[in-house]
């Protein structure tokens, strides 16, 4: 049977064109199952894990419906100011709200539909102005949706479609009452889609109460016999999307693969990554479904002959590849299902050779990595990204090995005479150090660029409290929940409960040149709080987030409101997420 395509799912031509332009080659299983159901107008309960393509599974039929129906007439006494929203997508976190809104915006390119993300931590007045102009689709976190409902800036009275994405996560985060309130503000005539990774009883209860005879779609995992997966080294790096290319380059230099297959999600990403790698001097070739078979055969010939070191591919193009000498499989984008991961990495570690599988994932995909571990019964080692010092040390180690091999090969009589001529004026160690420095002079310096760990997908308080004294340095292993240090000369706060934390949002960040030291100094100096009680600090472009003991929050916030940081008065509030 021929593989399904987005065109065969009977989506509107503009949407098919949009996903084709984005480089998506064929629907994932959840998309093949869910899109026809939602296009038919039925409610749906979908069970699928992170990374399976859920966003397109609900976004494409949602947009298809909005394109097919006429915009609603304005209603309500505030309708002149705030037009009714036509579709609402609820998600658990601000990060997911941004990602989903961005995806829907890309899918709707070329249409008149508008998308507005609403989440905590962003300016309320900016969101209000966007809602006042009119929004076809709103992507919101439950807390911020409630805020807009209370302000009467979000009109759900004529909603056509409601999506609850990662409903299990929203319930885990305590949004059950908010969900009930939001759903209660929507008309019963709406179409509803609910997606979750697990179907716990409380998820089933929501489905039974608020969905009308929903179709149920479950993307089941394949059962795999034990021992089928090659014993290869599997590692993962958690990195935000904005820093992925920098992180990828750093890991590539550290690993120095002899031959690698790098998997991307779409052919557009394949082409972009291939161009980037070539511009940095790597021998890389692209292969994807948008290429003619003649081109693909040529690329495979180059790779098999060892004339290119890296093959950048999509899953569709990589089907049937049988190459024995692949040293590394790199998931630049995680696959859409654990079984696909197994198929990908099975291309390394063949014929008794050692293989390495590397995955780059953002914080939301940690659960997906755990699903892979459960399927394969093998661990995936979570590693910190190599630092500049790590890379320099690796270069020196490579040089050491090359020198040893050259010395053992012999035939260095002329070079020895030259060195001996220099020993009258310099020490042998100095001569060798200068020679290595000259050898490295032609190589680019490793920039000490900070690649921050992405923020957590759940509220900060769900994580172990991190004292400043116990927080790992950049490049060390992640914090494992060690107890905060006590004692010291910074004052007596031994009765402070470090298990109950709050997140302080300070309205200044990297844009103003602020670093963690400025924030610690301000909190410790102005509020009289020992620095050992200050937890994790994240400095963003225009704001900063600081973990502090909840019982000291008011004291710290009050002091900072009267103080200045880098000479500026700053806004201080409790971060809602």
Helix (H, G, I), strand (E, B) or coil at 140: strand
Nearest one of 196, 193, 188, 184 to 214, comparing CA atoms:
193
Pair type for strands 568-569 and 564-565: antiparallel
Query: Distance between CA 169 and CA 43 in Å, rounded?
Result: 20
Query: Distance between CA 67 and CA 111 in Å, rounded?
Result: 8
Domain 7-218 sits in CATH at: 3.40.50.300
Instruction: Judge residue 407's burial from the number of C-beta atoms within 10 Å of its C-beta, 0-12 exposed, 13-18 middle, 19 or more buried.
Output: exposed
CATH architecture of structural domain 460-473+495-574: 2-Layer Sandwich (3.30)
- The predicted model scores a pTM of 0.56
* Residue 159 contacts residue 88 (beta carbons within 8 Å): yes
pLDDT tens column, 157-209: 999 999 999 898 888 778 889 999 999 999 999 999 999 887 878 888 899 99
Better-predicted residue by pLDDT, 353 or 563 = 563
With a CB cutoff of 8 Å and minimum separation 6, the contacts of 369 are: 236, 334, 359, 361, 380, 382
Query: Distance between CA 296 and CA 286 in Å, rounded?
Result: 8
Q: What is the mean pLDDT of residues 513-540?
A: 77
**Around Cβ 208, how many Cβ atoms within 10 Å?**
10
Q: What is the mean pLDDT of residues 417-443?
A: 80
Which strands sit side by side in the sheet containing 233-238, from one edge to the other?
284-287, 310-313, 260-263, 328-331, 356-361, 233-238, 381-382
Q: How many helices (H) and strands (E) does the chain have?
A: 19, 20
- The first and second tokens of residue 524, run together, are 């410790």
Q: Which fold has domain 233-382?
A: Rossmann fold (3.40.50)
Confidence tier at 101 by pLDDT (50, 70, 90): very high
* SS3 per-residue string spanning 63-102: HHHHHHCCCCCCCCCCCCCCCCCCEEEECCCHHHHHHHHH
Give the pLDDT score at 450.
Answer: 53
pLDDT tens column, 466-485: 333 333 333 333 323 333 33
The residues facing 497 across adjacent strands are none
What letters, b where the CB count within 10 A reaches 16 and e where it falls short, cover 173-198? bebeebbeebbeebeeebbbbbbbbe
* Residue 217 contacts residue 54 (beta carbons within 8 Å): no
Query: Distance between CA 314 and CA 301 in Å, rounded?
Result: 17
Place of tokens 């310099």: 426
The residues facing 44 across adjacent strands are 193, 215
Better-predicted residue by pLDDT, 465 or 252 = 252
CATH 3.40.50.300 residue window(s) in the chain: 7-218, 233-382
pLDDT at 90 over 90: yes
- The first and second tokens of residue 577, run together, are 């997420």
Confidence tier at 524 by pLDDT (50, 70, 90): confident
Pair type for strands 137-140 and 191-196: unpaired
Residue 295 region by backbone torsions, left for phi larger than 0, else alpha for psi between -120 and 50, else beta: alpha
Q: Which of 13-17, 469-473, 568-572 has the lowest mean pLDDT?
A: 469-473
Give the pLDDT score at 42.
Answer: 95
Pair type for strands 544-549 and 501-506: antiparallel
CATH 3.30.70.330 residue window(s) in the chain: 460-473+495-574
| Helix H or strand E segment including 420 | helix 413-422
pLDDT at 214 over 60: yes
* SS3 per-residue string spanning 186-217: CCCCCEEEEEECCCCHHHHHHHHHHCCCCEEE
- The first and second tokens of residue 547, run together, are 């973990």
Give the pLDDT score at 467.
Answer: 34
Query: Distance between CA 294 and CA 297 in Å, rounded?
Result: 5
């Amino acid at each position: 049977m021929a593989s399904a395509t987005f065109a065969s799912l009977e989506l509107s031509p503009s949407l098919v064109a949009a996903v084709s332009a984005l480089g998506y080659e064929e629907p994932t299983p959840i998309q093949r199952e869910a899109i026809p159901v939602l296009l038919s107008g039925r409610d749906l309960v979908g069970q699928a894990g992170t990374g399976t393509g859920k966003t397109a599974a609900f976004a494409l039929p949602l947009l298809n419906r909005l394109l097919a129906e006429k915009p609603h007439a304005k209603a309500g006494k505030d309708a002149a100011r705030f037009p009714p929203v036509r579709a609402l997508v609820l998600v658990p976190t601000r990060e997911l709200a941004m990602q989903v809104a961005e995806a829907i915006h890309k899918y709707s390119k070329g249409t008149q539909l508008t998308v507005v993300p609403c989440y905590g931590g962003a300016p309320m007045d900016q969101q209000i102005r966007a809602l006042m102009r009119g929004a076809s689709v709103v992507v919101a976190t439950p807390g911020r949706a409630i805020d807009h409902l209370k302000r009467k800036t979000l009109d759900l009275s004529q909603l056509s479609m409601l999506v609850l994405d990662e409903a299990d996560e929203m319930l885990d985060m305590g949004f059950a009452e908010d969900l009930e309130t939001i759903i209660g503000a929507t008309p019963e005539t709406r179409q509803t889609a609910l997606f979750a990774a697990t179907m716990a009883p409380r998820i089933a209860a929501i489905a039974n109460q608020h969905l009308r005879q929903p179709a149920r779609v479950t993307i089941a995992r394949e059962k795999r016999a034990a021992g089928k997966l090659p014993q290869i080294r599997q590692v993962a790096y958690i990195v935000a999307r904005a820093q992925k290319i920098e992180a990828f380059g750093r890991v590539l230099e550290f690993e120095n693969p002899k031959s690698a297959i790098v998997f991307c999600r779409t052919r557009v990403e394949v082409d972009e990554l291939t161009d980037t790698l070539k511009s940095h001097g790597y021998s890389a070739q692209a292969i994807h479904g948008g290429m003619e078979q003649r081109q693909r055969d040529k690329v495979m010939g180059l790779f098999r002959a060892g004339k290119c070191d890296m093959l950048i591919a999509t899953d569709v193009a990589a089907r049937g590849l049988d190459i024995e000498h692949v040293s590394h499989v790199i998931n630049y984008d995680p696959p859409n299902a654990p079984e696909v991961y197994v198929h990908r990495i099975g291309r390394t570690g063949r014929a008794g050779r050692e293989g390495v599988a590397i995955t780059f994932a953002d914080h939301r995909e940690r659960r997906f990595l755990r699903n892979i571990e459960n399927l394969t019964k093998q661990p995936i080692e979570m590693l910190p990204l190599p630092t500049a010092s790590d890379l320099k040390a690796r270069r020196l180690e490579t040089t050491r090995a090359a020198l040893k091999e050259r010395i053992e090969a012999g035939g260095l009589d002329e070079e020895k005479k030259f060195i001996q001529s220099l020993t009258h004026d310099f020490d042998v160690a100095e001569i060798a150090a200068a020679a290595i420095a000259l050898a490295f002079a032609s190589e680019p310096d490793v920039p000490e660029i900070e690649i921050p760990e992405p923020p957590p997908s759940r509220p900060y308080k769900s994580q172990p409290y991190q004292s400043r004294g116990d927080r790992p340095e950049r490049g060390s292993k992640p914090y494992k929940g060690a107890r905060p240090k006590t004692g010291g000369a910074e004052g007596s706060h031994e009765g402070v409960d470090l298990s109950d934390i709050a997140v302080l949002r300070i309205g200044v960040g990297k844009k103003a040149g602020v670093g963690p030291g400025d924030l610690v100094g301000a909190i410790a100096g102005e509020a009289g709080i020992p620095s050992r009680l200050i937890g994790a600090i994240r400095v963003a472009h225009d704001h900063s987030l600081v973990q502090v003991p909840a019982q000291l929050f008011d004291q710290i916030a009050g002091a900072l409101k009267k103080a200045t940081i880098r000479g500026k008065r700053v806004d201080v509030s409790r971060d809602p997420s």
